[in-house]
Amino acid sequence: IGKELHYFETVDSTNDMAKKMGFKAEEGTVVIAEMQESGRGRKGDRWASPKGGIWLSVILKPGILPVHAPRLTLMAGVAVARTIRQFGADASIKWPNDVVIDGKKVCGILTEMDAEVDHIGFVVIGIGINANVSVDELPEELREGSTSLSSINGENINRAAFVQALLRSLEAEYLRFKVEGFSKILEDWISLSDTIGRQVEVITPQKIIAGKATGITAEGALIVETAEGMQEVMAGRCIYK
């Protein structure tokens, strides 16, 4: 991963750029930019991408069924959390796919793909990390719930070294995914999780699911023990109670 790497000063969105390249690109191609003008988050949200952050997308061609694509998002969360820990901060994963430090979001992951029902052309894993970014540069409504690597100990991190370590970690996880399957990665995800064991409220467009988060399924659904029994929820906003 990263043998072929496209670096830009400014792009609209590295995910969009990677999607344009997707079919022709070698697996493992990385698109990285200093700044994004229209960085995208989940649910169509805007993703603030000022200079100093790490904004990158990786193109993968995993040969799995589209329904299993969320596994790659979980895999990426494991790789990011591990890399941040290597750099000395206590990162964990908040379901579904936020990497947090002290409960504050430091990284978001947006996986997109070109797929038919039974076949994936390619997957783009977009990773956004507030590296050397001041939280004050983020939109006001996000400041309280966000943090950055540089605000942990007040020093900028070496972004090149971080990206190198991250791509190495992603590649190791991806090879493991292909050779050993997903179960080991799921175990790691659970051990890095900040969510399992907590009282949560998961807000979905249809309903609110409240209870204790007890696990996660192989497809990435959160298992919540509610007053009405076990429920699995695939997507939603998770609030700790």
In angstroms, the CA 72 to CA 226 distance is: 28
Cα distances (Å, whole numbers) of residue 16 to 51, 161, 220, 239: 18, 25, 24, 30
State which of residues 22, 29, 57, 152 lies at the interface with ligand BTN (CB under 6 A). Answer: 57
193 touches ligand BTN (CB under 6 A): no
Single-letter code of the amino acid located at 195: T
55 touches ligand BTN (CB under 6 A): yes
Which residue's beta carbon is nearest to the bound ligand BTN?
108
185 touches ligand BTN (CB under 6 A): no
Element (H, E) at 230: strand 229-233
Residue identified by tokens 């697996």 is 27
In angstroms, the CA 180 to CA 151 distance is: 37
148 touches ligand BTN (CB under 6 A): no
Shortest separation between residue 55's beta carbon and ligand BTN, angstroms: 4
State which of residues 19, 40, 71, 82 lies at the interface with ligand BTN (CB under 6 A). Answer: 40
State which of residues 26, 37, 45, 155 lies at the interface with ligand BTN (CB under 6 A). Answer: 45
Shortest separation between residue 103's beta carbon and ligand BTN, angstroms: 15
Shortest separation between residue 39's beta carbon and ligand BTN, angstroms: 4
126 touches ligand BTN (CB under 6 A): yes
Instruction: Please give the residues from 78 up to 117 whose contact with ligand BTN meets the rule CB under 6 A.
Output: 98, 108-110
DSSP codes joined into one string, 7-73: EEEEES-HHHHHHHHTTTSPTT-EEEEEEESS-B-GGG-B----TTSEEEEEEE-----GGGTHHHH
